[in-house]
Amino acid sequence: MNIFVGSLPYRLEEADLKELFEAYGEVNSVKLIIDRETGRSKGFGFVEMPDDEAAQKAISGLNGAEVSGRSIAVSQAEERKPSGDRRGGGGFGGGNRGGGGGYGGGGNRGGGGGGYQKDNNRGGGRWN
């Protein structure tokens, strides 16, 4: 079972977190999330335990526990959405913004339709 651990002290290391959870059973892996720019912990991470029963006991026993003066939050991690579902727009072809601009574009904006559109019914042009 994958377990989310939040509100961690920033100086806590993966070995410390592993030691906390090993009191409840075998730990497969520990991952602290690190800020790429600063290289410091973001104050949360994940612990993977193979035995669901031991993992539930760890969640119950450690949620709200005080670690280095901080009350930590421990819960079952939610499954990540498939990366294909994460559409942030941006980039080329991202999002559906209605297109437009240019000559006669505009798509479905609800306004003036955007750009230049020739009106053949005006009559009386300069050279008629």
Tens-place pLDDT, residues 61-82: 999 999 999 999 999 999 887 7
Lowest mean pLDDT across 2-16, 20-34, 102-116: 102-116
Tell me the mean pLDDT in the region 77-95: 66
For the whole model, what pTM was predicted? 0.64
CA distances from 4 to 29, 59, 98, 108 (A): 12, 9, 40, 44
pLDDT tens-digit series, residues 93-114:
555 555 555 555 555 555 555 5
Range list of β-strands (E), the chain: 2-6, 29-34, 41-48, 66-67, 70-71, 73-76
Find, among 39, 44, 91, 96, the residue nearest to 67 by Cα: 44
Q: What is the pLDDT of residue 97?
A: 53
Residue 31's φ and ψ, nearest 5 degrees, are: -135, 110
Give the Cβ contact number of residue 113 at 10 Å: 14
Range list of β-strands (E), 9-97: 29-34, 41-48, 66-67, 70-71, 73-76
Mean pLDDT, rounded, of the chain: 82
Tell me the domains of the chain and their CATH numbers: 2-76 (3.30.70.330)
Q: List beta partners, residue 74.
A: 5
Q: What is the pLDDT of residue 82?
A: 78
